[in-house]
Amino acid sequence: MPAERPVGSGGSQTPEMVEQLDTAVITPAMLEEEEQLEAAGLERERKMLEKARMSWDRESTEIRYRRLQHLLEKSNIYSKFLLTKMEQQQLEEQKKKEKLERKKESLKNIMML
């Protein structure tokens, strides 16, 4: 049993018909539509890339802002720490001075006796 062939697929096409099929495959309208589709695709891609870039810029700015806030907070904490240390040192120096003054007074009193 021979395989079935689709209608019109026989080898009976004339060279003129083959030439007509080859030239009629791509029409100017098809080329124009293809160019329009390509341009639309490129525009869509450009918009998508622009949107992604803007999103990236916004996120990048937010990240930098949060980092800056964090650094400022750390700086503030360190400043408070240093201030506390300096106040403690001043208190210790004041106590030492007072103690030294009392010693001088007591020595003076002993010498007078």
In the chain, DSSP assigns E strands to none
Q: How much is the pLDDT for 26? A: 83
Q: For residue 62, what pLDDT is reported?
A: 93
Q: For position 18, what pLDDT does the model report? A: 59
What are the φ and ψ backbone dihedral angles of 102, each rounded to 5 degrees? -65, -40
> What's the first-to-final CA gap in the chain, in angstroms?
146
User: What amino acid is encoded at 48 in this protein?
Assistant: M
**pLDDT value for 25:** 81
Q: DSSP for 22-38?
A: HHHSS-HHHHHHHHHHH
Please give the single-letter amino acid code of residue 13: Q
Residue 1 pLDDT > 50, yes or no? no
The pLDDT, as a whole number, for residue 19 is 62
pLDDT digit string, tens, across residues 55-102: 999 999 999 999 999 999 999 999 999 999 999 999 999 999 999 999
- Residue predicted with more confidence, 94 or 104: 94
State residue 21's pLDDT score: 58
User: pLDDT band at 112, cuts 50/70/90?
Assistant: confident
